[in-house]
């Protein structure tokens, strides 16, 4: 065999592997999509007929619309809280106390290393009663979602901060007569816009799919989309498939937006 032939066969092999990977990942989604569009599908390999009625039924269900809205409120609330808490933290750590960064890098491992189901055990007891009784309200979810978004936002924005060379930028702003507040707000912040937006879009896409905290701490008392989906388990499979596809469409929108922004940057 000549070198070119070996290259050709190798190239074909890699293309096949990549397409197989794509197919494996696509299969559950494609199956759900087909199921959500079919009139009935049981005990056969392909569905009997196609219809949009499950989507119409879903999008006119008031309980679904309420859960959808509540999910959006909790996610946006958590993201707003995260921005308010994490941006000043990043600025202060990197400008005033760079040594704290290594401590922060250990602290942000906690949300990774402690599964939500473990935190829930403590949260249920600490905030179940007493002056800070928050269990069963969206407030506790907003607080928990902040800890989920933290490691991700911290890392993403740290990378962005290192790229703009914060001390030099601040010195230049000071030299031109800006106060530290002004420099942070009008010089540093605009430079972080893209990193911030990308991390917000991505954080949204996984907070939107959070189930553990939502189900254990709040449940039906403030039903979010994932909890609603789980509670609809006993309804028609076609209906819940339409729900899964609608949910994934939103996740897709937000990850696509993040990808798009990321590309613009480079």
Partner 1 sequence: MSTDLTTRKRGKWLAALCLVPFALFFIAFQIAPLVWVAVHSVSVDDGWGLANFSKIFSSKFYLQAIKHSLQIAFWSSVIGIFIAILGSYSLHQVDSKLRDFVMAFSNMTSNFAGVPLAFAFVILLGFNGAVTLMLKKIGWIEDFNIYSKTGLIVVYSYFQIPLGVMLLFPAFDALRQDWRESAALLGAGSWQFWRFIGLPILTPALLGTFVILLANALGAYATVYALTTGNFNVLPIRIASMVSGDISLNPDMASALAMILVSLMVVVTIAHQWLLRRSYHVAR
Cα–Cα distance for residue pair 67/212, rounded to 1 Å: 16
- Residue 76 burial by Cβ neighbours in a 10 Å radius (0-12, 13-18, 19+): middle
Q: Measured from the CB of residue 144, what is the shortest distance to partner 1 in angstroms?
A: 6
Closer to partner 1 by Cβ: residue 153 or 195: 153
SS3 category, 38: strand
Applying CB under 8 A, does 129 fall inside the site for partner 1?
A: no
CB atoms within 10 A of CB 11: 10
Q: Which of 1, 2, 5, 24 binds partner 1 (CB under 8 A)?
A: 24
Q: Which of 66, 197, 244, 261 binds partner 1 (CB under 8 A)?
A: 244
Applying CB under 8 A, does 224 fall inside the site for partner 1?
A: no
Instruction: Look up tokens 């009008």; give the residue.
Output: 186
Question: How far is Cα of residue 59 from the mean position of the Cα atoms in its chain?
Answer: 23
Applying CB under 8 A, does 4 fall inside the site for partner 1?
A: no
Q: Measured from the CB of residue 187, what is the shortest distance to partner 1 in angstroms?
A: 16
Structure-derived torsion over alpha carbons of residues 239, 116, 94, 88, reported in degrees to the nearest 10: 60
Closer to partner 1 by Cβ: residue 135 or 195: 135
Q: Measured from the CB of residue 101, what is the shortest distance to partner 1 in angstroms?
A: 13
Q: Measured from the CB of residue 193, what is the shortest distance to partner 1 in angstroms?
A: 20
Q: What is the footprint of partner 1 within residues 146-175 (CB under 8 A)?
A: 146-147, 150
Q: Measured from the CB of residue 231, what is the shortest distance to partner 1 in angstroms?
A: 10
Question: How far is Cα of residue 245 from the mean position of the Cα atoms in its chain?
Answer: 17
Q: What is the footprint of partner 1 within residues 81-110 (CB under 8 A)?
A: 81, 84-86, 88-89, 91-93, 95-97, 107, 109-110
The first and second tokens of residue 6, run together, are: 């070996």
DSSP line for 62-87: HHHHHHHHHHHHHHHHHHHHHHHHHH
Q: Measured from the CB of residue 207, what is the shortest distance to partner 1 in angstroms?
A: 10
Applying CB under 8 A, does 124 fall inside the site for partner 1?
A: yes
Q: What is the footprint of partner 1 within residues 29-48 (CB under 8 A)?
A: 29, 31-32, 35, 41-46
SS3 category, 128: coil
Cα–Cα distance for residue pair 217/134, rounded to 1 Å: 9
Q: What is the footprint of partner 1 within residues 48-77 (CB under 8 A)?
A: none
Q: Which of 56, 98, 101, 125 binds partner 1 (CB under 8 A)?
A: 125
Number of residues that bind partner 1 (CB under 8 A): 82
Applying CB under 8 A, does 13 fall inside the site for partner 1?
A: yes
The first and second tokens of residue 15, run together, are: 């293309």
SS3 category, 130: coil
């Amino acid at each position: 065999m000549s070198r070119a032939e070996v290259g050709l066969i190798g190239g074909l092999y890699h293309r096949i592997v990549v397409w197989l990977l794509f197919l494996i990942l696509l299969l559950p989604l494609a199956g759900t999509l087909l199921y959500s569009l079919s009139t009935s599908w049981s005990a056969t390999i392909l569905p009997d007929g196609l219809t949009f009625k499950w989507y119409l039924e879903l999008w006119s269900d008031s309980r679904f619309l309420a859960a959808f809205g509540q999910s959006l409120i909790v996610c946006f609330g958590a993201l707003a809280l995260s921005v308010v808490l994490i941006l000043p933290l990043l600025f202060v750590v990197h400008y005033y106390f760079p040594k704290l960064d290594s401590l922060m890098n250990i602290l942000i491992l906690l949300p990774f290393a402690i599964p939500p189901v473990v935190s829930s055990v403590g949260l249920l007891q600490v905030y179940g009663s007493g002056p800070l009784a928050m269990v069963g309200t969206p407030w506790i979810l907003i607080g928990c979602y902040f800890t989920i978004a933290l490691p991700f936002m911290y890392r993403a924005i740290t990378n962005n901060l290192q790229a703009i060379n914060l001390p030099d930028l601040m010195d230049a702003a000071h030299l031109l007569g800006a106060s530290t507040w002004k420099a942070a707000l009008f010089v540093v912040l605009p430079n972080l816009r893209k990193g911030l937006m990308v991390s917000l879009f991505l954080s949204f896409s996984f907070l939107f799919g959070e189930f553990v905290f939502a189900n254990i701490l709040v449940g039906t008392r403030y039903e979010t989309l994932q909890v609603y989906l789980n509670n609809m388990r006993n309804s028609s499979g076609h209906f819940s498939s339409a729900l899964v596809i609608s949910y994934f469409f939103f996740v897709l929108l937000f990850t696509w937006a993040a990808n798009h922004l990321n590309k613009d940057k480079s």
